Amino acid sequence: KQYQKNNRTNLADNVHPWELARLDAVDDFINGQLHWKKIDSVLDMGCGDTFFLESLAKRHPHISYVGIDINFI
């Protein structure tokens, strides 16, 4: 199965299951940290097509996000 984003309206439909698991793991980490530490920003090195950052930003809009990927330079 190809996991390429062709439809930007529902990002999760076209991503590899690993990306969804990664998103949930980082979301759990952020939620666990927020009660005792303020998180201002997230840096994603090797962000690829930005699915991860876009999805995380929807869950935590108060955080600033930066993504860097050599394929998009």
Please tell me the distance from the alpha carbon of residue 65 to that of residue 54, in angstroms, as a whole number.
Answer: 9
DSSP 56: H
Residue 64 CA to residue 18 CA, distance in Å, equals 23
Per-residue confidence band for 4, with pLDDT thresholds at 50, 70 and 90: very low
* Residue 45 confidence (pLDDT): 93
* pLDDT tens, position by position, 7-53: 445 656 678 888 899 999 999 989 888 777 888 999 999 988 889 99
pLDDT of residue 12: 61
Q: What is the pLDDT of residue 35?
A: 77
pTM: 0.71
pLDDT reported for residue 9: 52
